[in-house]
């Protein structure tokens, strides 16, 4: 059992890379070589320090991090998410990801599980029944390309703090974990705000924590990195009533001018990346340069990474 605790996502992620490569064993599901640890409990004591950034080895796409979080929290399975991560399209059936978390959390068979959990904990703060279930055996044994990796989220108010536990059947260290931490801790923080309690520790439980062979060398480089703690992101608050509509305005860029600065920054990140995806790189960079704070800097770093990768690919083709 791998048990790790850190104050920030950067420190936690670096430790996970190191320990997985040391303690892991070879497994080849579907014939794909991985290094795997069965059983991991990762604890993040300051969930607002949620963004992983270990340059130059691991640089995240902040637009996808934001887009995926808002896509899930708003209850969507709409294909607009592909604008921010084209690689997801290969897991779609009939143009949609059949394992999308959003509909399961927000309107699964007529139940908004997020709203139910909020109301339950308001009535009974000591409840042990605050569960958001994502895996559905009736749906997820049908052979779809996309099957949820996350099984459920659970919440507990203890000593005036909201503790959150996530359980995943499977978690890809390289492609999945950094983004999963980002989304889950946003949910954690928003729910704590609605309940009027402090933000407690985030607990991330994984059955199969693994890294594919193609990413092992990069993970080893992260493991050897000396990292600064992830900065604390600005505090998030949002209306519980009308939450979905509010998130929709952030996604579309129609967020009201009096919205809190973090939401304005997220809307700007998404707007910039839409320009990038449409091929208008100068406009995308110009918008990114105007976004204050860590998200703006992260987006500029991502654009620099994409540009460097494209130039290297062009040089390789030219020399072939």
Give the model confidence (pLDDT) of 73-101 as tens digits. 999 999 999 999 999 999 999 999 999 99
Mean pLDDT of the chain, nearest integer: 95
Q: Would you kindly state where each structural domain of the chain is located, as residue ranges?
A: 2-312
**pTM flag (> 0.85):** yes
pLDDT > 90? residue 70: yes
Residue 318 pLDDT > 90: no
pLDDT in the model for residue 314? 55
Give percent above pLDDT 70 in the chain: 97
Alpha-carbon gap, residue 30 to 70, rounded angstroms: 31
pLDDT of 55 strictly over 50: yes
The whole-number average pLDDT for the span 115-144 is 97
| Residue 319's pLDDT band (cuts 50, 70, 90) | very low
Strands 131-133 and 198-212: unpaired
* Distance from C-alpha of 80 to C-alpha of 175, rounded to nearest angstrom: 20
How much of the chain exceeds pLDDT 90, in percent?
Answer: 94
pLDDT digits (tens, 9 = 90+) for 247-299: 999 999 998 888 899 999 999 999 999 999 999 999 999 999 999 999 999 99
pLDDT surpasses 80 at 310: no
Which CA distances in Å does 39 have to 113, 172, 204, 226, 300? Answer: 27, 13, 11, 26, 36
The pLDDT value recorded for residue 309 is 80
According to CATH, the topology of domain 2-312 is Thymidylate Synthase; Chain A (3.30.572)
Cα–Cα distance measured from residue 200 to residue 35, given in angstroms and rounded to the nearest whole number:
31
Specify the higher pLDDT residue, 310 or 287.
Answer: 287
């Amino acid at each position: 059992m791998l048990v790790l605790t850190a104050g920030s996502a950067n420190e936690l992620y670096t430790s996970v890379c190191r320990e997985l490569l040391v303690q892991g064993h070879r497994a080849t599901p579907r014939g794909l070589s991985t290094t795997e640890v069965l059983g991991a409990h990762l604890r993040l004591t300051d969930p607002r320090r949620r963004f992983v950034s270990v340059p130059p080895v691991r640089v995240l796409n902040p637009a996808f991090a934001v887009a995926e979080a808002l896509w899930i929290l708003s209850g969507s399975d709409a294909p607009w998410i592909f604008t921010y991560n084209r690689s997801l399209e290969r897991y779609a059936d009939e143009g949609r990801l059949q394992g999308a978390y959003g509909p399961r959390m927000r309107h699964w068979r007529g139940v908004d599980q997020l709203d139910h959990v909020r109301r339950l904990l308001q009535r009974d703060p000591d409840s042990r029944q605050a569960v958001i279930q994502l895996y559905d055996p009736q749906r997820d044994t049908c052979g779809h390309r996309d099957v949820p990796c996350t099984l459920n989220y659970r919440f507990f108010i203890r000593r005036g703090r909201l503790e959150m536990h996530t359980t995943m059947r499977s978690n890809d260290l390289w492609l999945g974990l950094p983004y999963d931490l980002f989304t889950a801790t946003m949910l954690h923080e928003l729910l704590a705000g609605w309940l009027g309690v402090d933000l407690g520790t985030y607990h991330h439980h994984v059955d199969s924590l693994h890294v594919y062979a193609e990413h092992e060398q990069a993970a080893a480089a992260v493991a050897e990195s000396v990292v600064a703690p992830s900065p604390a992101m600005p505090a998030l608050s949002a209306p519980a009533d009308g939450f979905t509509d509010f998130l929709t305005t952030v996604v579309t860029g129609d967020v009201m001018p009096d919205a809190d600065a973090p939401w304005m920054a997220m809307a700007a990140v998404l707007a910039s990346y839409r320009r990038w995806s449409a091929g208008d790189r100068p406009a995308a960079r110009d918008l990114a340069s105007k976004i204050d704070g860590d998200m703006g800097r992260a987006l500029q770093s991502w654009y620099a990474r994409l540009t460097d990768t494209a130039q290297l690919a062009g040089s390789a083709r030219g020399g072939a």
